[in-house]
């Protein structure tokens, strides 16, 4: 679109000049994802790309915990966030100190953190997981007791899925939820099914167990996209942030999506202007810094995920 053209050109020129790569989560605005992003996808895919990156600079158009993860994995790169306010209700629900206290209460538990967590929480955890590998990794751990943080609803979904797989584990959780996914409602899903025969319902594992049970497919944003691209249905209801629906509308123009739009206020703080500013002359608040001991311990927990991920 003509409105975005000058900034898009400027950012793409700056990228070369600064030897930078731009990682974009699927929830951010399309002018960023398609106009200037080098890689677009879910948390797992973007972590892999951050780890492989050879660029001097990584601009993470997503939220702060994702940029911190990139810094943990690529410590020599300058990692910047367009907006330091782009938090996450899950990551912000638990501090490293709070996790240390929880660990003291459950000393025999394996500590598993969802990637939507701070570097301090990762540094205190045994293994990190994403929405795409959580069930496989938790199933593979030798410990019977799992302390899973910070997503209570995902923890409940793990309990259900492991029971279905016949894997016996005790799952203890902390009390965070995603403010975008915790409001989807199973009654609304039933109502949509009645109104749209043949509807396929596709949910993220940050949704409630009732919503997950009412869905045809539950998975990471990457897996949700794959499910839609490889299935045939007259209508789809996507129970996730509506940036993902935007991507699907662009990439599968013949499919029909019903339902309203739920925005993540943190992801939507990203803009082309802020990406340009972070690239051209990053302010101190846009540059991700971590103390080396925290970074090293957090890297161990993410590396364990790469070892165990299917
Ligand atoms: P994905 O890794 O599935 O993209 O999830 C990230 C996220 O923040 C979902 O709310
Ligand atoms: Fe965090 Fe939810 Fe936003 Fe994802 S959608 S970044 S989990 S607040």
Determine phi and psi for 78, rounding to 5 degrees. Answer: -80, 115
Residue nearest to atom 2 of ligand 2 (CA): 178
pLDDT band at 64 (very low <50, low <70, confident <90, very high): very high
Average pLDDT of the residues of the chain = 97
Three-class SS state of 203: strand
Cβ atoms 134, 154 nearer than 8 A: yes
User: With a 6 A CB cut-off, is 114 part of the ligand 2 pocket?
Assistant: no
Nearest residue to 215 via CA among 240, 178, 241: 240
Domain that holds residue 132: 91-173
Are 11 and 52 in a shared domain? Answer: yes
Looking at the fold, whether 148 and 223 belong to one and the same domain comes out as no
From ligand 1's centre to the CA of 131, what distance in Å? Answer: 7
Q: What backbone phi and psi angles, to 5 degrees, belong to 201?
A: -110, 125
- Ligand 1 in reach of 208 Cβ (< 6 A): no
What pLDDT does 211 receive?
98
Q: Is the residue at 180 inside a domain? A: no
The domain that holds 11 is classified in CATH as: 3.40.50.10800
Tens of pLDDT, residues 119-158: 999 999 999 999 999 999 999 999 999 999 999 999 999 9
Q: Which two tokens stand for residue 20?
A: 């930078």
Is residue 246 included in any domain, yes or no?
A: yes
Q: Assess whether 83 and 95 both reside in one domain.
A: no
Q: How many domains does the chain have?
A: 3
| Average pLDDT of the residues in 197-206 | 98
CA–centroid distance, 16 to ligand 2, in Å, is: 30
For the residues 202-231, what does the mean pLDDT come to?
98
Q: How far is CA 115 from the centre of its chain?
A: 7
Give the number of other CB atoms < 10 A from CB of residue 29: 18
Pair 254, 220 in one domain: yes
Rounded to the nearest 5°, which phi and psi values hold at 177?
Answer: -140, 160
User: Both 253 and 285 in a single domain?
Assistant: no
Q: Is 117 in the pocket of ligand 1 (CB under 6 A)?
A: no
Both 7 and 32 in one domain: the answer is: yes
Q: For residue 28, is pLDDT > 80?
A: yes
The answer as to whether 40 is a domain residue is: yes
Q: What is the torsion angle, in degrees rounded to the nearest 10, for the CA atoms of residue 178, residue 184, residue 186 and residue 191?
A: -170
Residue 220 CB less than 6 A away from ligand 1: yes
pLDDT at res. 2: 76
Band (pLDDT 50/70/90 cuts) for residue 1 is low
Q: Does residue 270's CB lie within 6 angstroms of at least one atom of ligand 2?
A: no
Domain annotation covers residue 299: no
Substitution candidate for ligand 1 out of 63, 65, 87, 221 with most atoms within 8 A of CB: 221
Place 190 in a pLDDT band, splitting at 50, 70 and 90: very high
pLDDT given at position 3: 84
Alpha carbon of residue 52 to chain centroid: 18
pLDDT, tens digit (0-9, with 9 covering 90-100), for 76-125: 999 999 999 999 999 999 999 999 999 999 999 999 999 999 999 999 99
List the 110-114 sheet strands across, edge first: 127-129, 110-114, 145-149, 170-173
Distance of CA 2 from the midpoint of ligand 1 (Å): 30
> Would you mind telling me the total number of residues written for the chain in this entry?
310
């Amino acid at each position: 679109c003509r409105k975005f053209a000058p900034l898009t050109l400027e950012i793409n020129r700056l990228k070369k000049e600064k030897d930078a790569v731009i990682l974009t989560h699927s929830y951010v605005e399309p002018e960023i994802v398609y106009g200037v992003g080098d890689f677009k996808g879910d948390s797992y895919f973007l972590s892999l790309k951050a780890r492989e990156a050879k660029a001097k600079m990584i601009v993470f158009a997503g939220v702060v915990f994702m940029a911190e993860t990139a810094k943990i994995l690529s410590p020599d790169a300058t990692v910047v966030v367009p907006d330091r306010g782009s938090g996450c209700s899950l990551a912000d629900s638990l501090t490293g100190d709070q996790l240390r206290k929880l660990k003291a209460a459950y000393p025999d538990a394996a500590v598993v953190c969802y990637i939507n967590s701070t570097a301090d929480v990762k540094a205190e955890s045994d293994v990190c997981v994403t929405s795409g590998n959580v069930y496989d990794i938790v199933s593979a751990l030798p410990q019977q007791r799992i302390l899973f943080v910070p997503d209570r609803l995902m923890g409940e979904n793990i309990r259900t899925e492991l029971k279905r797989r016949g894997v016996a584990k005790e799952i203890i959780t902390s009390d965070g939820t995603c403010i975008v996914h915790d409001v989807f409602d199973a009654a609304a899903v039933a109502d949509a099914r009645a109104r749209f025969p043949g509807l396929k319902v596709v949910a993220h594992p940050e949704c409630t167990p009732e919503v997950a049970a009412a869905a045809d497919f539950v998975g990471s944003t990457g897996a949700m996209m794959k499910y839609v691209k490889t299935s045939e249905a007259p209508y789809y209801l996507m129970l996730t942030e509506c940036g993902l629906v935007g991507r699907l509308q662009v990439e599968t123009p013949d499919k029909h999506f019903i339902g309203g739009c739920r925005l993540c206020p943190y992801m939507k703080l990203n803009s082309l202007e802020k990406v340009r500013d972070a690239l051209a002359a990053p302010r101190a608040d846009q540059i991700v810094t971590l103390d080396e001991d925290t970074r090293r311990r957090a890297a161990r927990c993410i590396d364990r995920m790469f070892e165990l991920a299917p």
